[in-house]
Amino acid sequence: MFTMTDDARKSLDAHFEDRELASIRIYLAPGGCSGPNLALAMDEPNDDDTVFSADPYTFCINKDLLDKTGALTVDIRYQGFVIESENPLGGGGGCSSCGGSCG
């Protein structure tokens, strides 16, 4: 239901090397032309969350959002962290759908 790639773990290890560990929230961020996307932020879990442990890291996500996403994978690419879900949430059709130019 939740996985983290080795590359994502290495990046988190580097980030927290000289910082105190904090819980990491997976949340739905507003998107541009391609709609909302899953993102990461430091935040403490609450009663409405499901918590995943990827020792030594703790990830939390709202239970309702998790029901919509299904299984999650945290990865990292050249543009930063990427959260892939079993059920993609994006609603847009790419840059051409907004009538503008992304370049």
Whether the per-residue pLDDT at 22 is higher than 80: the answer is yes
Cα–Cα dist 91/34, whole Å? 6
CATH code of 2-87, in short, is: 2.60.300.12
Higher pLDDT, 32 or 16: 16
Cα–Cα dist 19/53, whole Å? 19
pLDDT of res. 60: 98
Contact 75, 3 (CB under 8 A): no
